[in-house]
Amino acid sequence: MRKTFWLLGIVLIFYSCNPAVKNQNDALNYFDIKGYFKKEASRLNKRNPLLTKTVEVNGASETKKIHIPDWEKELSIFSESEINRNAWKGLFSINTTNTQELYTSDNKKVPVKEVSITKRDGRVASIRILIKNSNMLYSSTDTLTYYPDSLYRINKKQHIKLMAEKNYSITGRLK
């Protein structure tokens, strides 16, 4: 009888640790940025478009035409801006119209301050993400913009105390 209780206890412990049991936390409160860019990366990997990529640092720029071997890695900065984190639940206000979804947060703990999704005919036409980080020594502002099958842009302004501000820009134009 004791062995049965021990065995039942061990089974219950392992069952409670199983992540598949956590269905109630799977519901998304906001637009699924991570899921959207995972699908985009998969679609672009299959399509393999030519990309004209321009990198600019403080006014000096370089442009190359390349094929991206791993679009998930290329678009990772967008995916990392996912706002459906458990710790951020309820920290975004939502404003929705037929053509736009706008998510904003003024919480100091949340670096993603704004996500704007514009839609045409029910499909995503553009995504704009604003990220701000700051502390006593450092501040940065990132503006990420994505237009499916057309362009993505990453603008970053960075300021470290006692140093000059740096401006970075990466633009990818799809052909």
Residue 1 in this model has a pLDDT that exceeds 60:
no
pTM of the model: 0.81
Across the range 57-68, mean pLDDT stands at 93
pLDDT at 27: 73
pLDDT at 163: 87
The proportion of the chain whose per-residue pLDDT surpasses 70, expressed as a percent, equals 85
The strand order across the sheet containing 151-160 reads 60-67, 50-57, 166-174, 151-160, 138-147, 123-134, 112-120, 100-104, 93-96
Per domain, the residue ranges of the chain are: 28-174
